[in-house]
Chain A
Amino acid sequence: MAKKSLSTAPFLTVASAPHMHCGTSIKGMMSTILLALLPAVIGAVYWYGMEAIRVMALSIATAVIVEALCSKIMEKEVRVDDYHAVVTGLLFAFILPAGAEWWLVVSGSAVTMVLGKMLWGNFGGAPISAVAVGWAFCIVSWPVYINVDATMLNTTLVNPLTQLRYFGVESVADASMYNLFIGDQLGALGAVQVGALLLGGLILLARRVITWEIPVATIAAVLITGGIYYAIDPEMYANPLFHLFTGSTMLSIFFLLTDFTSTPNTRGGKILFGLMAGFLIILIRTYGQYPDGVLFAVLLANMITPLCDMIKPKPFGAR
C-alpha cells in the first residue's frame, strides 16, 4: 500500500548516489560516432555506388542480429538499441572491399561480434578491437576474397599500396595527395575516404566523444617514423604523408585506436599507446607481408594497453 502511494506521488524521494547525471549515454555516444561516420558513408557511396551500400547494410544487419542472438543464448539483456552493434558492423564494412562476397561479409561480421565482443561479456569487456579481430579472421581465412585488387576488377581506381608494394616507390611518386585525400584511390570501401574520416574524427573531438591524445600521438608517430625512413632513402621509402593518406590508417587513428574498451585511460598511457600504434603501422607497411597491415598494428597496440594503464599519477599520500 505504502509503495503504491510513493510511486504515484513522489513527494520526498530517497535514493542512493549518484543523484546527478551528466546526460551522456552509450546510445548518445554511438549516435555521435554514426554521425561522424556519415561523411565517409557518403564518400563510399560516391566512389563505389550500390555495391558499397550492399556491403554496409549486410554487415550492419548481421552484427545486430548476431548480438541479439548471442545475448539471448547467454541469457543476458538484449541491448542492441545502444547502437554499438550498428557502429561495429559499419566499421567492419568500412575495411572490406566493395566487391566482397556476401558470405564473407556475413561470416566476418558475425566473427567480429562473437569473438570481438560477445565472448568477452558484452560492451565494455573486450581488450581488443572487435573490428580488427574480424578483419584478421577474414584475411587469414580468405586472403583472396578480402583482397581489394582481386575483388574489384572492373574499376579505374588504382590501389596505391599495392603499387608501392610490388612496383616500388617510383610508381607512387607522382600520386597526388589531394586525390588520395578525397578518396580517389582503390581500397577498402570506407577506409580510403580519408578526408571524410578526418572530418568525422574532428566531429568526435569537438563533441568530446574521444580525446586528442591518441589521434595526435598516432599521427605524430606515423609522420616521424615514416619521415625517418624517407630521410634515409627517398628512393626506397614512401613519403610519410602517403602512409597517412592511404589504406586504413585514418580509419584506425580516429575510430579503432580510440575504441573505449581496448585503449588506455590515462593521458600518459594514451600518448604512449598512440606512439606505439603509429610506429607499428609504418613498420608493418615497410617490412610486412601484407600491403596494408594497419589493423594488425591496431591489434598489437591493443596488447600493450594493460601496460600503458600502469602509467598513472600517484595518488596524494600514497607510497
Chain B
Amino acid sequence: MAMWKEFSKGLWAELPPFRLLLGLCPTLAVTTTAENGFGMGMAVVFVITLSSFIVSLIRKIIPKKVRIACYITVAASLVVSVELLMQAYAYPLYQQLGIFVPLIVVNCLILGRAEAFAGKNPVHLAVADGLGMGIGFTLSLTFLGAVRELFGTGYVFGVEILSGSFEPVEFMIAAPGAFVALGLILAGMNYLSIVKAKRRGEPAPENPSTGCHACRACAGHK
C-alpha cells in the first residue's frame, strides 16, 4: 500500500507541472500538439523510472558530497539511450522534439525526484514514485498539448474537432500561448483546491499550488 501511495501522489496531489511546477521547460516548449506532449511524456517516464531505480539502488555507495554529479550521470546515460531508441523507432517524433530530448538530462523533475525521494528511499518505493511522477507528467503534457492543439489548429491528435467557420487561434500554438494556457490551467487547479477546501468546511488555502508540503526536499516536510 505504501507503493500505491507513492505512485498515486504523482497523478493528482503532486502532479509535476501543475502542482509542483517542475519540468516547465518541456511543458511549455514541446506541447504544440497533443502527440508531441505524449511523446515527450513517455520519454520522461522511461528516464525518470529507471533513474529513480538506479539512484535508489546505489544510494548507499554514493558519497554525499558528489551526489548531484552522480544523479546527473545516471540521468544522462538514460537520456542518451532514449535518444538512440527514439532515433531508431520514432524518428519523426524525434525530429519534432528536437533539442528537448537531450535536454531531459537537466529536467528539474528528474533531478528533483532523485534528490528528494530516490536518494533516501528503498528501491520499490522509488520506482513507484518515479513511475507515478512520470505518468502524471505525461498526462499533464498531453492535456496541455491537446488544449493548445485544439484551439490553435482545430485538431486533437490529428483528428479534426473544430471545423467549418472556426478560424484557428494561432496564438495558442505560439510561445506566448503556452504561458497563457499553463497559467489558466494553474488557475483552474487552484480554483478546484479552493472549492474542495470549502466543501470540507476548511478555510480556503491562501496559495494552494505552492507550499512546503508539496516538496519533500527539506526538513520542513512533515
Contact = CB atoms under 8 A, between A and B. Distances in A.
A247 B171 CA distance: 23
Interface string A131-157: 000001100111101000000000000
Interface in A102-150: 103, 107, 115, 136-137, 140-143, 145
Interface in A244-264: none
Contacts of A142: 167, 169-170
A145 B167 CA distance: 10
Contacts of B180: 115
Interface centre among A107, A137, A145 (most CB of B within 10 A): A137
Nearest to A144: B167
Contacts of B168: 141
A137 B167 contact: no
Interface centre among B168, B171, B174 (most CB of A within 10 A): B171
A142 B180 CA distance: 17
Nearest to A143: B170
A140 B167 contact: no
A34 to B, nearest CB: 29
B176 A103 contact: no
Contacts of B169: 107, 141-142
Contact of B170 (A107, A115, A136, A140): A140
A112 to B, nearest CB: 13
Interface of B: 167-172, 174, 176, 180
> What 3 A-B pairs have minimum CB-CB distances, sorted nearest first?
A141-B171, A141-B169, A140-B171
20 contacts: A103-B167, A107-B169, A115-B180, A136-B176, A137-B171, A140-B170, A140-B171, A140-B174, A140-B176, A141-B167, A141-B168, A141-B169, A141-B170, A141-B171, A141-B172, A142-B167, A142-B169, A142-B170, A143-B170, A145-B167
Given A142-B170, A143-B170, 18 more contacts: A103-B167, A107-B169, A115-B180, A136-B176, A137-B171, A140-B170, A140-B171, A140-B174, A140-B176, A141-B167, A141-B168, A141-B169, A141-B170, A141-B171, A141-B172, A142-B167, A142-B169, A145-B167
